[in-house]
Structure 1
Amino acid sequence: MDQKKRRVVVVGGVAAGMKVASRLRRLDPEVEITVIERGSQVSYGACALPYYIEGLFEDLDEVRQTPAGVVRDETFFRKVKGFDVRASTEALNVARKARILRVRDLQTGEEENLAYDVLVLATGNRPILPSIPGIDLAGVHALKSPEDAGYLMDLSRTARTAVIVGGGLIGLEMAEALAKRGIAVTLVEMKDQILASALDFGMAALVHRELRKNGVNLRLGEGVQAIEGEEGRVSRVLTTGGSYAADMVVMAIGVRPEVTLARDAGLEIGPTGAIAVDAGLRTSDPSIYAAGDCAESTDLLTGKKVYVPLGSTANKHGRVVADNICGRNETFAGILGSLIVKVFDLNVARTGLSEEDARLVGLDPVTLLAPSPDRAHIYPGAKPIVIKLVADRASRRILGAQIVGPGNVDKRIDTLVAALTLGATVDQVAAFDLAYAPPFASAMDPLITAANALRNKLDGIGISLDPAEVMELLEGEEDFVFLDVRSPAEYSEVRIPGSTLLPLGMLRQRLAELPRDRRIVAFCKLSLRGYEAQRILQGAGFDRVCFMEGGILGWPYLLESGPVVSAAAGAA
Structure 2
Amino acid sequence: MQKIVVIGAVAAGLKSAAKIRREVPEAEIIVLEKGSLISYGACGMPFYVGGLIADVSDFVKTSSGALRNPEFFKADKNVDVRIRMLVTAINRGDKTVSARSLETGEETVFPYDKLIIATGATPVKPPLPGIELSGIHQFWHPDDAVAIRSGIDSRQIKNAVVIGAGLVGMEMAEAFKIRGVKVTVIEMQEQVFPAFLDPEVAGPVAKYALANGITLLLGEKVERFDGEGTVTAVVTNKRVIPADVVVLAIGVRPNSELAKTAGLVIGPTGAIAVNEYLATSDPDIYAGGDCAENTNIISGKKVFAPMGSTANKHGRVIGENIGGNRVKFRGVLNTVAVRILDFHVGKTGLTEREAKELGYRYVTATVAAPDKPHYMPGSKSITVKLVVEADSRKVLGAQIFGEGDVAKRIDVMAAALTMAATIDDLFDMDLAYAPPYSSPIDNVAIAANAVMNKLSR
1:144 to 118, 140, 155: 140
**Matched residue, 1:288:** 285
1:226 to 209, 224, 227: 224
2:178 to 169, 177, 180: 180
How big is each residue's C-alpha offset from its partner over 1:362-412, in whole Å with a ceiling of 9 and x where there is no partner?
111111011111112111111111000110111111110000011101111
For 2:132, the aligned partner's letter is: D
Q: How does 1:520-531 map to 2 (within 5 A)?
A: none
For 2:259, the aligned partner's letter is: A
**Matched residue, 2:194:** 196
For 2:187, the aligned partner's letter is: E
Q: How does 1:68-107 map to 2 (within 5 A)?
A: 68-107=64-103
Q: How does 1:199-214 map to 2 (within 5 A)?
A: 199-214=197-212
Q: What is the alpha-carbon distance in structure 1 between the residues aligned to residue 152 and residue 14 of structure 2?
A: 31
SS of 1:396 mapped into structure 2 = coil
Q: How does 1:210-359 map to 2 (within 5 A)?
A: 210-230=208-228, 232-359=229-356
- Assess if the C-alpha contact under 8 Å between 1:139 and 1:155 holds in 2: no
SS of 1:137 mapped into structure 2 = coil
**Matched residue, 2:57:** 61
SS of 2:391 mapped into structure 1 = coil
Runs of 4+ in 1 over 3 A off after TM superposition: none
Q: How does 1:94-173 map to 2 (within 5 A)?
A: 94-157=90-153, 158-173=156-171
1:408 to 393, 405, 410: 405
Larger relative contact order (Cα-Cα within 8 Å, sequence gap ≥ 6)? 2
Q: What is the deviation of 1:105?
A: 1.5
2:9 to 13, 27, 33: 13
Q: What is the deviation of 1:100?
A: 1.0
SS of 2:368 mapped into structure 1 = strand
Q: What is the deviation of 1:182?
A: 1.1
Q: What is the deviation of 1:154?
A: 2.4
Q: Does 1:425 align with 2:422?
A: yes
Q: What is the deviation of 1:220?
A: 0.2
Q: Please report the TM-score for the alignment, with normalisation by the length of structure 1.
A: 0.79
How big is each residue's C-alpha offset from its partner over 1:293-314, in whole Å with a ceiling of 9 and x where there is no partner?
0000001111111001000110
Q: What is the alpha-carbon distance in structure 1 between the residues aligned to residue 357 and residue 132 of structure 2?
A: 39
**Matched residue, 2:41:** 45
Q: What is the alpha-carbon distance in structure 2 between the residues aligned to residue 287 and residue 28 of structure 1?
A: 16
Q: What is the deviation of 1:229?
A: 0.6
Q: What is the deviation of 1:52?
A: 0.4
Q: What is the alpha-carbon distance in structure 2 between the residues aligned to residue 11 and residue 109 of structure 1?
A: 18
How big is each residue's C-alpha offset from its partner over 1:99-143, in whole Å with a ceiling of 9 and x where there is no partner?
111111112222211111111000000000000000000000111
For 2:25, the aligned partner's letter is: P
How big is each residue's C-alpha offset from its partner over 1:307-356, in whole Å with a ceiling of 9 and x where there is no partner?
01000110111111111111101111111110101111111000001111
Q: Mean alpha-carbon deviation: is it higher for 121-130 or for 80-89?
A: 80-89
Q: Does 1:384 align with 2:381?
A: yes
SS of 1:75 mapped into structure 2 = helix
Q: Please report the TM-score for the alignment, with normalisation by the length of structure 2.
A: 0.98
SS of 1:451 mapped into structure 2 = helix
Q: Mark the runs of 5 or more structure 1 residues left unpaired by the alignment.
A: 461-572
Q: What is the alpha-carbon distance in structure 1 between the residues aligned to residue 364 and residue 237 of structure 2?
A: 35
For 1:384, the aligned partner's letter is: S
% identical equivalent positions = 47
Q: What is the deviation of 1:357?
A: 0.8
Aligned CA RMSD, in angstroms, stands at: 0.9
- Assess if the C-alpha contact under 8 Å between 1:210 and 1:344 holds in 2: no
Structure with max Cα Rg:
1
Q: What is the alpha-carbon distance in structure 1 between the residues aligned to residue 353 and residue 202 of structure 2?
A: 14
**Matched residue, 1:441:** 438
For 1:222, the aligned partner's letter is: E
Q: What is the deviation of 1:153?
A: 1.9
Q: What is the deviation of 1:203?
A: 0.8
Q: What is the alpha-carbon distance in structure 2 between the residues aligned to residue 247 and residue 459 of structure 1?
A: 57
Q: What is the alpha-carbon distance in structure 1 between the residues aligned to residue 75 and residue 199 of structure 2?
A: 51
SS of 1:208 mapped into structure 2 = helix
For 2:134, the aligned partner's letter is: A
